Structure 1
Amino acid sequence: MKNKTYLKASLREIAYSKGRFIAIILIILLGTMLFVGIKAAGPILNSSASRYVKEHNLSDLQVVSTGGLTEDDITQAEKISDAQVEAGYQFFYADPDKNEVVQVFSYDSDQKQNQLIVTEGRLPKEKQEIVLDSQAENDGYQIGDAYEIKDSDQLTDERYQIVGFVNSPMFISSGERGLSNVGNGQVSYFAYVPKEQFTSEVYGILYLTFANTQGLETYGSAYEDTMEENREEIEKLFADRPQERLTEIRQDAQEQLDPEKAKVEDGLAELEQAENQLQQQQAFASRLPAEQQAQLAAAEEEITENRQQLTDAQEEIAEQEQILADLKEPSYSFHRRADNPGFQEYGDLSERIAAIANVFPVFFFFIAALITFTTMTRMVEENRREIGTLKALGYSKFEISKKYFIYALSAAAIGIVLGSVIGTEVLPRIIFVLSSDRYNFSQVHIYYLARPIIQASIAFVLASLGSALLVLMKDLREKPAQLLQPKAPKPGKRIFLEYIKPLWSRLSFNQKVSYRNLLRYKSRMVMAIIGISGCAGLMVAGVGLKDSLSSVTDKQFGPIIDYQGIVTLSDEADNLAEREAVETIFDREDPVTAFLPSYNESVEIRQSGQGTQQLTMMVPEKAEAFSDYVHLNNLDDQEVALDDDGAAITEKAAELFGLNVGDKVTVYDSEQRPLQVEISHIVENYLGNFLYLSQDYYQEVRGEEYQPNAYFLRTETMSEDQENQLSEDLLASDRVVNTSFVSQQIEAQEDSMANLDAIVLIFVVLSGLLAFVVLYNLTNINVSERIRELSTIKVLGFFDKEVTMYIFRENIIFTLLGIVAGYGVGIVLTAFILRQASMENVIFPLVIHWTAYVVSGGLTIVFTLIVMAVTHVKLKHINMIDALKSNE
């Protein structure tokens, strides 16, 4: 009966202190929700992507070749055990009238890989039907419209009917469609035409799916490692195919030329016989009648004309044979999922979330646990007399402790359960919904991660129950008589302001009391400042994180990269005359103000214990002019120039491989040829990894003649239409394969950073809520601890506003000190998060704009005012008689 009664009393404690109980639940809920939700967001987003690509059977690898793909290539690919191989057609089509570039694929109803997702209409059933990318619908295309592809070299028909709009798992981004070597260089959308419409004798693409990747998360390290092994295996199998394919092309072409060549030779032989006969007849022409002489003259003209035609055909055949002789080996490319447009960007989003989740929620979690600890500690201390009474009545230590166990565990359990459920179910969905307009995923797959839930449970149970146990262990060792007596209030002390006589003498009585109380209760002051500064710092970090991530483009483009475009030349444009023809185009294009030839190539650095990294090697033709296009500054922010003693490497690559000035490093070009260079400068860079060499140093270490293959362009500010027109003009010359503009890189980077807007919004909102709950809880604790003191001054005649200001004045000081300290916390926290979120090819600078401080300080002050308004109402209704009753 005794225990039953005590249990009821324990439950009544919850009812009597609803505000405190709810505050503890909210603090634990917010801490758990952010910690569990953000920890789960990255894995859930990745898992959702894996389910999507698995459901639609996205190929693991795509093989393309500049020489087309044959049955021999398919046979070679099928040598890989348990590899599913499918062949298809593809080509790029530029519509000059609409300024569009379309990537046209073949559609086969029996194709198992890369299954299309119909968003409207249906898939093709007849050979003159076509489906378009769902993005094409935004350009005004509708089901039932006629659609023309005027490319007789690729397709049987030109005119098709649109029967549907689709998404493809190869293009998970809702906007990015990749690059092309026709038109303006940017793919607008894709289209699928029935396979039987294609006229090419060779395939355009091979799709491969591997059995050893089934069941692996597409963004997981296990999948990446497995695919790296698969790629290496298929590259070995195809190592001889470029030479074999070149031989096949030459043989096929020669087989077509030989009959024509034989026909021409036979024609020349017959013509020679006819000429001999004509010459014999012309010997007696003077004796022949005029009519026959005219016939001989006509025959001679005909023979001459035929000889000219046969000679022209012979020269043309010779030219084609020379072209075949000069033909270079076709290149084979092996594209993994990460190479698909938008695929890696989505993975980077998850990686950034995961990196942020290792810092921000943990700090948030720490503040929540600290406040929970403080609240529970104060609660137990307030119940000293009750504990003493129960001890005097013969209750055991365990029986006395049960009440606090129930209280702490109830609050922790409710907060943890609600926080885990809301965090897992809501936060990933919010992130997904706010990012869904950039990706084609239809839904997010939610599942619960045990690890963060267990971590949150342990931490908050320790914070709530552990704090109660710590105080109980101390109090239960005391005798009932000691516990029944209230603790003596802390004695007042002179504070440092009192020694500043001119200032102290000008303060009112109430102000003096407030300032003395601040230092009288130091632990309360420290906890308040820590709680407020932690929340303010979290809000600064939330907004500052967005500022820093968004500032990459501002730091990279302009201060470092000062060109507006790069023009990549075709393999055929390998002589001075061809380059001069391209430069002629630059000279006549109004937006182009300057250009600089360069040799650009993608190279690799390998090192044991460190993953292979790709760098872009740039070798400008004139090192002294390069500073107008790329500003090279060392890590001391001093400008440096390319020299003939070594190469300049960007800082992130140097950091990854532990390189210092004077070190030598070996890089491998696209043909895997080694190139050893000495590092003469480590230069500032934020986006990408680069290696810069002067022309003379490149020729020294390479041992071959320098040959530019690209141009840096400086232009006036151009609109998108102007960029497209310039790109079209360059591609139309057949000497250029691609033109990339810096504006496109900036747009892509900003879109990538915009994916984190949802994360920043969540951080700021939840940090603000935590700040509000912390302020409310600390103020309540302050009021409940000093209820007798506040009642006393009310009895002495203080007005309601003066009583409120008694507390409010202290809170304002706590808040201001907490905000200032929070700014420092926010800067340190942001810097730490950025180091954790740093990627292999991106450095995030620490940039926090004034708006972050305004948002953080402003919200904290607003929350303080709201809390004090609520507190004012509560203080007005204090029952002074009850508060001042004493049992001593």
Structure 2
Amino acid sequence: MKNKTYLKASFREISQSKGRFIAITLIIFLGTFLFVGVKATGPILNHSASAYVDGHQLADLQVTSTMGLTDEDIALAEKSDAQVESAYQFYAAVNSDEVVQVNSYNNDHTLNQLLIKEGHLPKNKDEILLDTEAKNYGYQLGDTYTFDQTENLSQESYTIVGFADSPMYISVAERGYANIGSGVVSYFAYIPEDTFTMDVKSILYFSFDDVQSLETYSDAYEEKMDNHQETIEALFADRPQTRLAEIKAEAMEDITPAQDELTDNQTKLDDAQEQLDAAKEQLATQKEALSQLPQAQQAALTTEVTAGEAELTQQQETLDAQQEQLDDAQQTINDNLADLDALEEPTYLYNQRKDNPGFQEYGGLSDRIAAIANVFPVFFFFIAALITFTTLSRMVEENRKEIGTLKALGYGKAEISIKYLIYALLSSAIGILSGAILGTELLPRLIYFLSSDRYLLDGIRVYYVWSPIILAASAFLIAALGACLFVLIKELREKPAQLLQVRAPKPGKRIFLERITPLWSRLSFNQKVSFRNIFRYKSRMVMAIIGIAGCTGLMVAGVGLKDSLGSVTSKQFGPITDYQAVVTLTDSKEATLKKAEAALGKDTGVTDTLAVNSENIEIRPENQGKQSLTLMVPADNDTFTDYVHLTSLEGNALSLNDNGAVLTMKYAELYDINVGDSLTFYTSDQESFTVKISGIAENYLGNSLYLSQETYEAITDSDFTPNTLLLKSDTMNQKQEENLSTALLETDSVKNTTFLSTQINTQNESMGNLDSIVLILVVLSGALAFVVLYNLTNINVSERIRELSTIKVLGFYNKEVTMYIVRENIVFTLFGILAGYAVGYFLTDFILMQASMENMVFPLVINWPAYALAGGMTILFTVIVMFVTHVKLTRVNMIDALKSNE
């Protein structure tokens, strides 16, 4: 009976302090909700994308060749331990701003299964299926789709029978690049394989059994796929040379008979010329003999000789024309032979899933969320746990009298403790369970929903990530139970008589402000009391300022993250990268460069160009994986300063000279490279060169190594040959950029034109994906700030209820009693906001360091609205709490409060 009654009393404690119980539960809920939800969002997003592409059998690896793939390539691929499928593929320009990637469709293929959105797959040779993105260009089911050039297809017109998504493209906007039209693929199309007339296949797809159970974005998958790629590369290592020999042999099969026929024709022509020359000599002899004949005979034979001369002249003209034709044919053959000699080995390209359009952007979103989850929720969690510990420890301290009474009645220490442990366990259990469930179920779905318009996935697949749940549950249980046990152990050591006595209030002391007489003398009595109380209860002051500063700092960090992540482009493009486009040439010949420059000169929007040598290189730090970066060598060092503003981390201008190279800051930081160190890099031909680092440059996107032309020629022992043009232009709209790209591609001297506006838009959209999570962080931080303020104020009032009742009995008005408490809160809030600004600044900086990637550095930028929002919301919450406190204090029964000790 005793235990049953005591158990009822334990639950009565909850009903009598609903505000405190709800506050504790809410704090634990918010901490668990954010911590578990954000920590689970990255893995869940990655899992959803992985499940989507796995469900549609996306190939793990793609192999393409600049000269196509023959039966020998396919046979070689089938020697690997992978499922292999081959397909035809080419690009067609419908118009200047509409480029289609045309793929072959085969019913026997199982990889890269299309997700039909409307209609059906093509069944007949005259049917075509289009990307759902093609609807934006006005195409509908039943329309006729026509190709202007059909050298790769057996017919030019097709009926649109379906629209679909492909697992190769998870981004709505990206479809990759092409070397025709605008250079950007607009959408894809699928046509039955037997419609293609191409001699060789275009692409090989590989699927490996040992990675089917792995997540696409996991380290284990990437590691295995890197190994598989190395194996396939080794398998095809000799194919470039062999393929070049095959092409030359095939070409010679056509050239040799033509050359032989030309030689035969030349021999016949030479014989005819000899016969004609003999006829000419015979005619000349006849003409000379004619002059010796009598006049009468000459007249008779002259007509015959003249006719012979005319006939011989006509024959000579015919032979000359035939000789000219033979010379042209020989020149053509010679040109073909020259082209054949100049023909370079084909390049075999290897692309994993992560190289498909949109995959890096989506993975980057998950990585950035994971980086934020490693810091922001942990700090949030720490503040919540700290307030939970404080609240529960104060609750136990308030019940000293009840503990003393129970102890005097013979209750044991364990029995007394049960009540408070039940209180802590129940509030913790409700907060942890609801936070873990709602955090897992809601946050990932909400973040996916807010960014789903950018991706083509078929939904999100939520599962419970147990490690953050277990961590959150453990931490909050330790905070809640630990607070209770900590105070209970201390209180239960005392005797019942001591516990039944009211603990003496802390004595008042002179404070520092009292020594500043001009200020102190101008304060009112109530203000003086408030300041004395603030410093009288230092632990309460410290805890309040820490709680408010933490919540304010979280809000500053939330908005600051948005500012910093969104400022990457503004820090990179303009202050550092100051050109508008990169024109990649087909080769490094001078004639190609001149041709491209001539085409650019015709565009009035282009203001200047600079030739550079740009190539991808690798560095291979000791005991670390190889890393790629861009080597850039300008034709003119002085002009280059107008295109790329190289600045040291100290803000000093850097220039290219003969002293060494300039390296961008991220790799210098990652691999501890300093000015004066030597760096070894490897070219695509696996040649290694070593250069001294003369400067470390500020940079936020990508990684580059800059060399002067003189340094490049000295360390490589080769001539400088530009293969790229950097382009400065007036502001261009999308149509103007597409027109310029098309004009350049039509010169056959340009491989691709990349406009920085596209990169800027892509980067901004990528950062825009984080807007949703930043909004969630700010809202939850605000909610925590409100609960913390309310809870700390509630504790303050509960601990000092007799003091407040006393001053009320002494004649203080309700508003004065409220201000007795609120005035302290205002001071705590102001100091907490100022401290929170500093906390937010350093917290943002720390998160950005964690979120930075090998090819991207986030600058620390926090604009004034971040501080205004955080401070304003904290002040607003203080006002709301002040109003709630005022209402509560007006309802206090003074007599009961003053008699509570009896």
Which residue of 700, 708, 717 maps to 1:694? 708
Indicate conservation of the 8 Å contact 1:610/1:657, yes or no.
no
Summarize deviations over 1:407-428 as a string: whole Å, max 9, x none.
Answer: 1101111111001001111111
Task: For residue 253 of structure 1, give the secondary structure of its aligned residue in structure 2.
Answer: helix
Q: By how many angstroms is 1:288 displaced?
A: 5.8
Map 1:857-868 onto structure 2 (within 5 A).
Answer: 857-868=871-882
Which residue of 148, 151, 154 maps to 1:150? 148
Match of 1:622 in 2: 636
Which residue of 263, 266, 275 maps to 1:265? 263
Aligned counterparts of 1:237 and 1:539: Cα–Cα separation in 2: 54
Map 1:158-307 onto structure 2 (within 5 A).
Answer: 158-272=156-270, 283=282, 302-307=318-323
Task: For residue 871 of structure 2, give the secondary structure of its aligned residue in structure 1.
Answer: helix
Does the alignment pair 1:109 with 2:100? no
The alignment's TM-score, normalised by the length of structure 1, stands at 0.97
Match of 2:756 in 1: 742
Aligned residues: 884
Q: By how many angstroms is 1:733 displaced?
A: 0.9
Name the amino acid aligned to 1:759. Answer: I
Which residue of 479, 488, 495 maps to 2:511? 495
Match of 1:806 in 2: 820
Match of 1:703 in 2: 717
Does the alignment pair 1:79 with 2:94? no
Q: By how many angstroms is 1:89 displaced?
A: 1.1
Task: For residue 68 of structure 1, give the secondary structure of its aligned residue in structure 2.
Answer: strand
Which residue of 710, 713, 731 maps to 1:717? 731
Q: By how many angstroms is 1:278 displaced?
A: 5.9
Match of 1:485 in 2: 501
Aligned counterparts of 2:659 and 2:513: Cα–Cα separation in 1: 65
Summarize deviations over 1:205-261 as a string: whole Å, max 9, x none.
Answer: 111112222211111111111111111111111111111111111111221233333
Name the amino acid aligned to 2:783. Answer: L
- Higher radius of gyration, 1 or 2: 2
Match of 1:308 in 2: 324
Summarize deviations over 1:630-683 as a string: whole Å, max 9, x none.
Answer: 111112110011111211111111112221111112101111111111111111
Indicate conservation of the 8 Å contact 1:86/1:206, yes or no.
yes
Aligned counterparts of 2:682 and 2:375: Cα–Cα separation in 1: 37
Does the alignment pair 1:337 with 2:336? no
Q: By how many angstroms is 1:304 displaced?
A: 4.4
Indicate conservation of the 8 Å contact 1:88/1:206, yes or no.
yes
Aligned counterparts of 1:366 and 1:264: Cα–Cα separation in 2: 88
Indicate conservation of the 8 Å contact 1:602/1:615, yes or no.
yes
Q: By how many angstroms is 1:787 displaced?
A: 1.5
Q: By how many angstroms is 1:700 displaced?
A: 0.4
Deviates most, 360-369 or 498-507: 498-507
Q: By how many angstroms is 1:266 displaced?
A: 3.7
Task: For residue 611 of structure 1, give the secondary structure of its aligned residue in structure 2.
Answer: coil
Q: By how many angstroms is 1:163 displaced?
A: 1.6
Q: By how many angstroms is 1:121 displaced?
A: 1.9
Match of 1:552 in 2: 568
Aligned counterparts of 1:776 and 1:673: Cα–Cα separation in 2: 67
Indicate conservation of the 8 Å contact 1:77/1:85, yes or no.
yes
Shift of the 710–879 alpha-carbon distance from structure 1 to 2, 3 Å rule, reads same
Aligned counterparts of 1:560 and 1:400: Cα–Cα separation in 2: 68
Which residue of 481, 486, 491 maps to 1:475? 491
Aligned counterparts of 1:292 and 1:153: Cα–Cα separation in 2: 52
Aligned counterparts of 1:288 and 1:88: Cα–Cα separation in 2: 72
Unpaired stretches in structure 2, ≥5 consecutive residues = 287-300
Name the amino acid aligned to 2:3. Answer: N
Match of 1:384 in 2: 400
Q: By how many angstroms is 1:309 displaced?
A: 3.0
Task: For residue 204 of structure 1, give the secondary structure of its aligned residue in structure 2.
Answer: strand
Task: For residue 163 of structure 2, give the secondary structure of its aligned residue in structure 1.
Answer: strand
Summarize deviations over 1:403-458 as a string: whole Å, max 9, x none.
Answer: 01111101111111001001111111111111111111111111111111111111
Map 1:23-38 onto structure 2 (within 5 A).
Answer: 23-38=23-38
Shift of the 568–300 alpha-carbon distance from structure 1 to 2, 3 Å rule, reads same
Name the amino acid aligned to 2:891. Answer: H
Does the alignment pair 1:446 with 2:462? yes
Aligned counterparts of 1:127 and 1:812: Cα–Cα separation in 2: 78
Aligned counterparts of 2:541 and 2:278: Cα–Cα separation in 1: 126
Indicate conservation of the 8 Å contact 2:177/2:183, yes or no.
yes
Summarize deviations over 1:146-197 as a string: whole Å, max 9, x none.
Answer: 2122222211211122222211111111101222211122222222222122
Q: By how many angstroms is 1:753 displaced?
A: 1.0
Match of 1:574 in 2: 589
Match of 1:94 in 2: 93
Match of 2:603 in 1: 589
Aligned counterparts of 2:551 and 2:412: Cα–Cα separation in 1: 40
Aligned counterparts of 1:702 and 1:305: Cα–Cα separation in 2: 52
Deviates most, 495-504 or 822-831: 495-504
Name the amino acid aligned to 1:542. Answer: G
Aligned counterparts of 1:99 and 1:635: Cα–Cα separation in 2: 41
Does the alignment pair 1:42 with 2:42? yes
Q: By how many angstroms is 1:707 displaced?
A: 0.7
Summarize deviations over 1:834-865 as a string: whole Å, max 9, x none.
Answer: 11111111111111000110110111111111
Indicate conservation of the 8 Å contact 1:373/1:467, yes or no.
yes
Which residue of 832, 846, 860 maps to 1:846? 860
The alignment's TM-score, normalised by the length of structure 2, stands at 0.95
Unpaired stretches in structure 1, ≥5 consecutive residues = none
Aligned counterparts of 1:691 and 1:299: Cα–Cα separation in 2: 68
Does the alignment pair 1:753 with 2:752? no
Indicate conservation of the 8 Å contact 2:586/2:592, yes or no.
no
Summarize deviations over 1:101-157 as a string: whole Å, max 9, x none.
Answer: 222211222211111111222211111211222112122222222212222221121
Which residue of 698, 705, 716 maps to 1:684? 698
Match of 1:824 in 2: 838
Name the amino acid aligned to 1:92. Answer: Y
Does the alignment pair 1:792 with 2:806? yes
Indicate conservation of the 8 Å contact 2:58/2:113, yes or no.
yes
Indicate conservation of the 8 Å contact 2:552/2:874, yes or no.
yes
Indicate conservation of the 8 Å contact 1:65/1:204, yes or no.
yes
Task: For residue 568 of structure 1, give the secondary structure of its aligned residue in structure 2.
Answer: strand
Aligned counterparts of 2:279 and 2:519: Cα–Cα separation in 1: 135
Indicate conservation of the 8 Å contact 1:619/1:692, yes or no.
yes
Match of 2:127 in 1: 129
Task: For residue 66 of structure 1, give the secondary structure of its aligned residue in structure 2.
Answer: strand
Match of 2:289 in 1: none
Aligned counterparts of 2:670 and 2:76: Cα–Cα separation in 1: 37
Q: By how many angstroms is 1:401 displaced?
A: 0.5
Summarize deviations over 1:316-340 as a string: whole Å, max 9, x none.
Answer: 2232222212211111111111211
Match of 2:432 in 1: 416
Q: By how many angstroms is 1:543 displaced?
A: 0.5
Name the amino acid aligned to 1:626. Answer: F
Aligned counterparts of 1:64 and 1:779: Cα–Cα separation in 2: 68
Deviates most, 112-121 or 615-624: 112-121
Indicate conservation of the 8 Å contact 2:618/2:626, yes or no.
yes
CA RMSD of the aligned region, Å?
1.9
Aligned counterparts of 1:380 and 1:409: Cα–Cα separation in 2: 14
Task: State the identity %.
Answer: 61
Indicate conservation of the 8 Å contact 2:610/2:726, yes or no.
yes
Q: By how many angstroms is 1:276 displaced?
A: 5.7
Aligned counterparts of 2:850 and 2:274: Cα–Cα separation in 1: 89
Summarize deviations over 1:322-367 as a string: whole Å, max 9, x none.
Answer: 2212211111111111211111111111111111111111100000
Which residue of 654, 662, 686 maps to 2:668? 654
Summarize deviations over 1:41-80 as a string: whole Å, max 9, x none.
Answer: 1111111111111111111111111111101111222222
Q: By how many angstroms is 1:377 displaced?
A: 0.7
Indicate conservation of the 8 Å contact 2:585/2:592, yes or no.
no
Name the amino acid aligned to 1:693. Answer: L
Summarize deviations over 1:256-299 as a string: whole Å, max 9, x none.
Answer: 23333333334444445555666677757978699998877766
